[in-house]
A and B are shown apart, each in its own frame.
Chain A
């Protein structure tokens, strides 16, 4: 199971991999899992409705414990075609929340850490209008 949600979601939430609870419910960040319950409170506070969100993991299977970097990378590579196919079906302008370093690295194919990127919206401001450069 990689992703679940409507075809025209309000937003796309991308996480790492399913937990055992998620696998049982066949839903990423399942509402009945410990994380899912906590997440529900946060979604409520943010005015987001769970049924209108698309939940997606970059890895489809429950990883073995303890997790090893090599295995995670292998799983990311294995699931990538499915990930890209799922993303391609969603409207490209869907507001997206990327959760965690593994998800971010799988999407961007970079080694950047989420610690440095969290909290910032990735979009280009058009500074041209705001810029009144030299020669005034």
Chain B
């Protein structure tokens, strides 16, 4: 088992942003040595139904929400990342232990009704990553309003105004997740894309957003997409838990 981090001289003397990350990585090495890493989610459900969602809601915990999108009908593939034009592929919900994902086109009316009710229920706290700028706008186009939500990007920005805000970055800070976005059939393709921009980014701005974020919407493997969707939800829930703890400490 291993973890990767910055070169210590770089972290300590060249990049003040990365010194804190280096410390986090060493803390995680300590957990590896002591065998106290947090295990992965206990349940990941793909092709979930309203029964699974109802079960999750009954736990009474903050509910992470994440969507995966596709290109708009008859439009270029890049529109998959445009909240005003993209299609909706799947919607996921999660807690720190369980993630579920539902395929939008295969959902029954009952499924869709419960999803809309959960999103609109002011008694259920929803947690999103980049919700106001993407997910919430897309969901609104599909007739679902999100009420009572918190956004992990906003929370992190409030804590550390200069922080990177991508889900993969915050997951690396707040959770013991492996690099789940890299583990896929198209790993080589993604890795190649990452490599292309990596050298450039590192030299120009080591503080930039990871290029990896949001690449998986191009995949045609629906089962895999749902699994990532569900894992993204668990990651978001765990990031939220870490952010809440940090915020309490900061105040």
Tell me the A93-136 residues at the B interface (CB within 8 Å): 93, 95-104, 110-127, 129-134, 136
Give A88 to B199 CA distance when docked, in angstroms. Answer: 31
Q: Does A3 contact B (CB under 8 A)?
A: no
A128 → chain B closest CB, angstroms: 10
Q: Does B248 contact A (CB under 8 A)?
A: no
Give the contacting residue for A125; candidates B40, B169, B206, B223; CB below 8 A: B40
Known pairs A113-B195, A114-B5; A132 contacts B178 (CB<8 A) = no
- Contact B26 A125, beta carbon cutoff 8 Å: no
Q: Which residue of B lies closest to A98 (CB)?
A: B4
Give the contacting residue for B46; candidates A38, A102, A114, A131; CB below 8 A: A131
Residues of chain A contacted by B45 (CB below 8 angstroms):
131-133, 136
Q: Does A27 contact B (CB under 8 A)?
A: no
- Contact B28 A121, beta carbon cutoff 8 Å: yes
Q: How large is the interface on B (under 10, 10 to 19, 20 to 34, 35 or more residues)?
A: 35 or more
Give A45 to B28 CA distance when docked, in angstroms. Answer: 11
Known pairs A113-B195, A119-B25; A95 contacts B32 (CB<8 A) = yes
Give A99 to B182 CA distance when docked, in angstroms. Answer: 20
Q: Does B167 contact A (CB under 8 A)?
A: no
Q: Which residue of B lies closest to A128 (CB)?
A: B44
B235 → chain A closest CB, angstroms: 11
A75 → chain B closest CB, angstroms: 15
Q: Which residue of A lies closest to B176 (CB)?
A: A121
- Contact B8 A99, beta carbon cutoff 8 Å: yes
Binding site for A on B (CB under 8 A): 1-10, 12-13, 21-30, 32-34, 37, 39-47, 49, 52, 169, 172-173, 176-180, 182-183, 191, 194-195, 198-199, 201-202, 206, 210-212, 223, 227
